[in-house]
C-alpha cells in the first residue's frame, strides 16, 4: 500500500522573534497519525531546503506520494520530490492537511481566477443534463471499454452510503469529432466539480486542477435553467456526487471519457 503524505510550504502568518518573514512546512499523513513541521526564513525557502526537511521527516521510510493543494507550494515541492524520487500529486483533496491548517487558523482559501471559456477547438456539438441511478454507476462505467475513466472507489455511491435508487446527476457532452480531443484535454486539466451558476446569462463552470475555472457552457433558455436547478438540487441530495460524461454522439453505444466527481470534497478549499 502506498505511503501518502500531504504537504504545504507557504509564507507563515507568524513571524520570528526578529520580526522576519518565515515560511513554514507542514507535512502530515492522510490520517494525521504523523505530523511534521519546520520553518525557515523566506530567503532560505528553496527546493534544497525542502529536500533536507523531507529526508528528516521520512527518517528511513520515504513516502510514495506527496499531495499538494496550494499552487504556490507546488513548484518547489515538485522539484524536491524529483530529487528524492517521490511522486508529487497536485490535488484539492487534502482534507487532513486542510483540517490541520484550519485548526492553526492558517489561510487555506485560494485565490480563484475568473473562469475562462473552453478552447473553441475542443467544444463538441451539444450537451445536456442527465441522471443515472446510484446502483448503475459502477456497472455502467467500470465495465465498458472507455478510453479515459476517473472512477475513484471512495466515491462509488455504495461507499458513500447512498441509496441504490438515488439519481446521481451529471452532464453529458456530445463531442462529435472532437470527442477524444476534449476527453484528453479534460484528463490533463483534472476535473474537480461542475457547477451551475445562475445569472443574467446562466453558466456551467468546471472547477479543475488546483484553482482553475472553465466556462463549459452559457445559456439563457428558461427550460435549461430549470434543468440546471434540478441538477444542483440532486447534487445536494447525493452528497455532492455527480458525473461528467463525454461521448461522440447520442447513440449510447460509445463513451470517450467519464469522471465521477464530488463537490463537497472542496468545502475547505
Report the DSSP pairing between strands 4-15 and 21-29.
Answer: antiparallel
- Is residue 165 one of the residues assigned to a domain? yes
For 203-258, write each residue's pLDDT tens digit.
999 999 999 999 999 999 999 999 999 999 999 999 999 999 999 988 877 899 99
- In this predicted structure, the answer to whether residue 11 has a pLDDT above a threshold of 50 is yes
Average pLDDT rounded to a whole number, residues 116-127? 85
- Is residue 64 one of the residues assigned to a domain? yes
Q: Of the candidates 14, 35, 34, which has an alpha carbon nearest to the alpha carbon of residue 23?
A: 14
pLDDT value, residue 264: 61
Between 265 and 215, the higher pLDDT residue: 215
Q: Quote the domain boundaries for residue 219.
A: 116-266
CB-count exposure of residue 62 (10 Å: 0-12, 13-18, 19+): middle
Between 185 and 121, the higher pLDDT residue: 185
- Is residue 109 one of the residues assigned to a domain? no
- In this predicted structure, the answer to whether residue 82 has a pLDDT above a threshold of 70 is yes
Q: Which helix (H) or strand (E) is 11 found in, with range?
A: strand 4-15
Same domain, 97 and 125: no
**How far is residue 111 CA from its own chain's centroid?**
15
Same domain, 14 and 128: no
Same domain, 262 and 158: yes
Percent of the chain at pLDDT above 90? 77
Same domain, 56 and 143: no
- In this predicted structure, the answer to whether residue 3 has a pLDDT above a threshold of 60 is yes
What CATH number should be reported for the domain holding residue 98?
Answer: 3.30.420.10
Query: Would you place residue 268 in the very low, low, confident or very high pLDDT band (cuts 50, 70, 90)?
Result: low
Same domain, 127 and 249: yes
Query: At which of 103, 132, 152 does a domain end?
Result: 103
For 144-189, write each residue's pLDDT tens digit.
889 999 999 989 999 999 999 999 999 999 999 899 999 999 999 9
Measured distance between the N- and C-terminal CA atoms of the chain, rounded to whole angstroms: 27
Same domain, 230 and 260: yes
- Is residue 120 one of the residues assigned to a domain? yes
Query: At which of 72, 103, 134 does a domain end?
Result: 103
Same domain, 137 and 234: yes
- Is residue 110 one of the residues assigned to a domain? no
Same domain, 166 and 253: yes
For 23-68, write each residue's pLDDT tens digit.
999 999 999 999 999 999 999 999 999 999 999 999 888 999 999 9
Same domain, 82 and 142: no
**For 30-72, where are the E strands, in sequence order?**
35-41, 65-68
- Is residue 35 one of the residues assigned to a domain? yes
Please tell me the pTM assigned to this model. Answer: 0.85
The grid coordinates of residue 94 equal 487534502
Same domain, 147 and 80: no
Total of domains in the chain:
2
Mean pLDDT of the chain: 92
The grid coordinates of residue 114 equal 475568473
pLDDT value, residue 266: 44
Query: At which of 103, 129, 159 does a domain end?
Result: 103
pLDDT value, residue 208: 95
Between 19 and 231, the higher pLDDT residue: 231
Report the DSSP pairing between strands 212-219 and 116-117.
Answer: parallel
- Is residue 134 one of the residues assigned to a domain? yes
Percent of the chain at pLDDT above 70? 98
Say if residues 212 and 113 touch (Cβ distance below 8 Å). yes
The grid coordinates of residue 185 equal 484535454
Same domain, 147 and 255: yes
Same domain, 77 and 191: no
- Is residue 111 one of the residues assigned to a domain? no
Average pLDDT rounded to a whole number, residues 82-101? 95
Q: Which helix (H) or strand (E) is 79 found in, with range?
A: helix 71-84
Amino acid at each position: 500500500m502506498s505511503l501518502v503524505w500531504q504537504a504545504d510550504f507557504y509564507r507563515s502568518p507568524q513571524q520570528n522573534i526578529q520580526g522576519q518573514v518565515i515560511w513554514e512546512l507542514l507535512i502530515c499523513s492522510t490520517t494525521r497519525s504523523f505530523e511534521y513541521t519546520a520553518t525557515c526564513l523566506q530567503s532560505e525557502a528553496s527546493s534544497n531546503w525542502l529536500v533536507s526537511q523531507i529526508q528528516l521527516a521520512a527518517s528511513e521510510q520515504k513516502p510514495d506520494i506527496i499531495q499538494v493543494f496550494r499552487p504556490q507550494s507546488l513548484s518547489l515541492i515538485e522539484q524536491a520530490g524529483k530529487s528524492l524520487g517521490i511522486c508529487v500529486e497536485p490535488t484539492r483533496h487534502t482534507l487532513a492537511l486542510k483540517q490541520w491548517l484550519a485548526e492553526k487558523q492558517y489561510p487555506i482559501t485560494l485565490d480563484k481566477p475568473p473562469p475562462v471559456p473552453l478552447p473553441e477547438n475542443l467544444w463538441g456539438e451539444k450537451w445536456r443534463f442527465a441522471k443515472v441511478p446510484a446502483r448503475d454507476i459502477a456497472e455502467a462505467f467500470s465495465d465498458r471499454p472507455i478510453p479515459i475513466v476517473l472512477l475513484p472507489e471512495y466515491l462509488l455511491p455504495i461507499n458513500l452510503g447512498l441509496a441504490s435508487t438515488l439519481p446521481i446527476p451529471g452532464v453529458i457532452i456530445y463531442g462529435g469529432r472532437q470527442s477524444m480531443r476534449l476527453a484528453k484535454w479534460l484528463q490533463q486539466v483534472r476535473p474537480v466539480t461542475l457547477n451551475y451558476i445562475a445569472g443574467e446569462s446562466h453558466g456551467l463552470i468546471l472547477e479543475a486542477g488546483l484553482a482553475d475555472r472553465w466556462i463549459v457552457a452559457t445559456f439563457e433558455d428558461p427550460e435549461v435553467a430549470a434543468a440546471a436547478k434540478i441538477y444542483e438540487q440532486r447534487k445536494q441530495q447525493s452528497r455532492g456526487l455527480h458525473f461528467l460524461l463525454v461521448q461522440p454522439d447520442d447513440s449510447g453505444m460509445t463513451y470517450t471519457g467519464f469522471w465521477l466527481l464530488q463537490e463537497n470534497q472542496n468545502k475547505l478549499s
